[in-house]
Amino acid sequence: MKKLDLHIHSTCSKHKIWGIDGLNTPQEIVEMAIKKNLDGIAITDHNSIKGSEKAIQYVKKNNIPLLIIPGSEIRTTKGDILALGINEDIQPNLTILETIDAIKDQGGLAIAAHPFKYNSKIGSILKEHSSPLPFDAIEIFNSNIRKNANNKAVQLAEMLHLPGVAGSDAHIASNIGLAKTLIEIDNLSIDSVLKAIKTGQIKLNCKYISLHNTFNLYFKKIGHLFKRIIGRGNKSCI
C-alpha cells in the first residue's frame, strides 16, 4: 500500500499578511516526507506549481525515492480547487467551471478542496447544483479544518458518488503525513496515482493537527512576519 499526502504548502505559497503561507522549502518538505515514510506527495501551493517543480528537480538531482505529483491549490470565485497532474499555472479567480476546464485541459484531476471550510462556498454549491460540476474527487478529510466540515464533505462525496481523498494541508513540515491517501499499486507513477484516485481505488489514514502544532505554526508565522516588517528578510521559494 503506497502512502501519499496530497495537500501540502511550501514557501512558494504566498499570503497577503504573512508573506509566505508555507514555512518550509520544497527541499525541506521532501526530506520530511522521506522521514515520515511517505511514498509520494503533492505540493499544492496557492495558484502556483513552482513548489512542485522545485521538489521534482530536487528528488531527481539527489535520486530520492519519492514521487512528486505536480499540483496547485487554485482560488476560484467561490473557493479552492486542488489540481493534481498539471504542468502549467492556472489563473486564479476564475469561476469553478472555468477552473475545472483549465485543469482538465492539462490532463489533471480537479478535486474540491475542503468544500465546507469557512471561506469556501463550493460545498453548498455542489449540494444545490442540479447539474453536478465535473469534479474528479472531493477532499473529505483535511487535517487543518473542523471535524464537522470534514463530515459534511464525506456526506457530499457519498451523495455525488465521487471518490474521497485526504490531505494534511500542512503549512509546516511537522504536519506532513497526518492525512494520507493509501493506494494499492505496484507501479508508482503520476498516471497510476491519478487513475487510482479517479476510480476510487483508495483508502484513507487520517489524523487532525494537534493544538500544540497549531500554536507552533502561528508562532513561527508571526516570527516571519516580524522579520519581514523590520526588513530582515524571509524564507523564499528556493
What average pLDDT does this structure show over 202-209?
96
Identify which has the larger pLDDT, 214 or 38: 38
- pLDDT tens string 26-45: 999 999 999 999 999 999 99
Q: How far apart are CA 210 and CA 172, in angstroms?
A: 12
Q: How far apart are CA 107 and CA 18, in angstroms?
A: 33
Q: Confidence class of residue 232 from pLDDT cuts 50, 70 and 90? A: low
Domain 2-229 class?
A: alpha beta
Q: Confidence class of residue 233 from pLDDT cuts 50, 70 and 90? A: low
> Which runs of E-coded beta strand occur in 24-177?
40-43, 67-75, 80-84, 109-112, 137-142, 164-167
pTM as predicted: 0.93
**What are the sequence ranges of the domains in the chain?**
2-229
Q: Evaluate whether 122 touches 162 at the Cβ level (below 8 Å).
A: no
C-alpha cell at 162: 465521487
The vertex-156 CA angle with 102 and 81, nearest 5°, equals 25
Q: Is residue 206 scored above 80 in pLDDT?
A: yes
What is the pLDDT at residue 130?
Answer: 59
